Amino acid sequence: MAAFTLLSAALWIGPALNLWEAWPALWIRIILTITPLGLMIWLYLSLIRPMSTIFTGMELLRAQDFASRLTSVGQFDADRLVEMFNGMMDRLKSERLRVKEQNHFLHLLIEASPLGIAILDFDGRISECNSAMLEFLSVPGIDMVKGLYFDEVEGDIAAEIAKVPDGSTMTVRLSDTKVIRCSRLSFMESGFHRPFIIVEGLTDEVMKAEKAAYGKVIRLIAHEVNNTMAGVNSLLQTLSDVLEDSVADPDIMAALESCRERCDSLGRFITSYANVVKIPDLVLRPVDLNSLLTSVFPFLESMVAGRVKLSLLTAIEPVVVDADPVLLEQVLVNVVKNAVESIGDKPDGEIRVSVLPAFNGIEIADNGPGISSEAAGKLFSPFFSTKRGGQGLGLMFVSEILHRHDCRFSLRTDREADHLTRFRISFPVE
């Protein structure tokens, strides 16, 4: 038994002594293996992971992703950067949302505004327009005017806008009775002044004020003159009756008759002004413009009496509008009468009355001398007339009736093409 124990101890002690002798080399191998691995882990946690987090944040900023956030990496300095970055992203997100909401509200406000607003680029070209501005410019969409200067856009309003200096406001009366106020202002963008245009329609307000003013004056004058003329006419008639019973001087009787005729003429003159204020209410019904012009054309021919060539061009298809036919006929008579007087004694004078399906309206064109640029903006002003001795009532009457019909109309001379003067009337399309 003792021999067996000694033998077992000898067998165990031998390998143990060998392992003890090899232990320093094994320990060195373990240290050499673990140290690089630990160093790599330390480098990853201390340098690579924070740098990766920073790069991720840069990518989020580049992509403008303000909803994502960085997570802590367990490294003090890097975690401070992460905390600061996340706070900055929160503020950027809040600011971006606030600006977006403000811009959306501003866009809705501009689009719903009755003022025409156009934003220009730094070179003065049209960049954006709201619906009201497109309506002022008579264009269907922004694509028709985007990238153009205002003096490159067709129409009277665009031409007037182009004349407005920077930082100023102008009020303009156009040839179609429209009155507009144009302002050219600017706001700061990227450190530079960016211009924008505001157009305000004043037509209704100006027309109401003008009508109220001249209506009051006309009624006052008519009242005073008619009362005075009634007394004067009565006195003249009495004096004439007394003188007829005696042997009166014929020259005196002729003078009395001349005075009475002059009083009657003055009464008719005042009545013509009063009639402008007393235009009856519209009685609207569907009217085919072809039929209306055909029915009134014989009267227009008799009024012209061969002084000019009068022609009628109707449309192939019916052009039906809601109108008061009686008042509309009066409009046609006034416009044709003005055209005849404008042509005067010109031997080859011509007037063409046409139905325009494309404009849902009528056009009266003549080859008279045309309208000067100075008179174009005053044509529909109260009591303005280009004729010597004219009262300015005809176009006042026409303007009032057409405005009651909600028509768009214009009177202008095309001096670049055919030199014709056109009065164009467009009825609203339902």
Name every residue whose Cβ is closer than 8 Å to that of residue 190 and which is 6 or more positions away in sequence: none
Could you give the CA distance from residue 185 to residue 346 in angstroms, rounded to a whole number?
Answer: 48
The pLDDT confidence band at residue 152, using thresholds 50, 70 and 90, is confident
Q: Among 46, 77, 112, where does a domain finish?
A: 112
Q: 247 in a domain, yes or no?
A: yes
- Tens of pLDDT, residue by residue over 156-198, are 788 888 888 888 888 887 766 677 888 999 888 888 888 999 9
Q: Among 112, 145, 172, where does a domain finish?
A: 112
Q: 346 in a domain, yes or no?
A: yes
Could you give the CA distance from residue 118 to residue 338 in angstroms, rounded to a whole number?
Answer: 38
Q: What is the pLDDT, as a whole number, of residue 413?
A: 80
Compute the C-alpha angle 201/174/330, nearest 5°.
100
Taking residue 323's Cβ as centre, other Cβ atoms within 10 Å add up to 24
Q: 8 in a domain, yes or no?
A: no
E-strand stretches of 324-366: 350-356, 361-366
* 373 and 401 co-located in one domain: yes
* 307 and 265 co-located in one domain: no
CATH code, 188: 3.30.450.20
Q: Greater confidence, 75 or 418? A: 418
The rounded percent of the chain whose pLDDT value lies above 90 is 2
* 184 and 231 co-located in one domain: no
* 289 and 422 co-located in one domain: yes
Model confidence, pTM: 0.53
Q: Among 88, 112, 136, where does a domain finish?
A: 112
Find residue 185's DSSP bridge partners: 196
* 260 and 179 co-located in one domain: no
Q: 17 in a domain, yes or no?
A: no
Three-state secondary-structure class, residue 140: coil
- Whole domain around residue 249: which residue ranges? 206-277
Helix (H) or strand (E) holding 135: helix 131-137
The pLDDT confidence band at residue 4, using thresholds 50, 70 and 90, is very low
* 97 and 131 co-located in one domain: no
Q: 21 in a domain, yes or no?
A: no
Residue 167: left if φ>0, alpha if ψ -120 to 50, beta else—which one? left
- Tens of pLDDT, residue by residue over 6-63, are 444 444 455 544 545 555 666 666 666 677 776 666 666 555 666 666 666 667 666 6
Q: 164 in a domain, yes or no?
A: yes
CA distances from 115 to 88, 200, 310, 392 (A): 40, 5, 42, 31
CA dihedral 396→177→112→151, nearest 10 degrees, is 170
Could you give the CA distance from residue 332 to residue 355 in angstroms, rounded to a whole number?
Answer: 12
In total, how many domains does the chain have? Answer: 4
CATH code, 367: 3.30.565.10
Single-letter amino acid, residue 152 = E
* 347 and 404 co-located in one domain: yes
- The conformation of residue 124, written as its DSSP 8-state character, comes to S
Phi/psi of residue 362, nearest 5 degrees: -130, 150
| Burial letters 124-143, b for 16+ CB under 10 A, else e | eebbebbbbbbebbebeebe
State the number of CA atoms in the 13 A half-sphere of 294 facing the CB: 9
The pLDDT confidence band at residue 1, using thresholds 50, 70 and 90, is very low
Please state the rounded mean pLDDT for residues 65-91: 70
| The two structure tokens encoding residue 196 | 């924008």
- Tens of pLDDT, residue by residue over 245-262, are 665 567 677 777 777 777
* 249 and 375 co-located in one domain: no
Q: 384 in a domain, yes or no?
A: yes
Please state the rounded mean pLDDT for residues 307-321: 88
Q: 124 in a domain, yes or no?
A: yes
- Tens of pLDDT, residue by residue over 335-391, are 888 888 888 777 888 889 999 988 889 999 988 877 766 666 666 665 556 666 555
* 311 and 404 co-located in one domain: yes
* 105 and 121 co-located in one domain: no
* 292 and 422 co-located in one domain: yes
* 389 and 410 co-located in one domain: yes
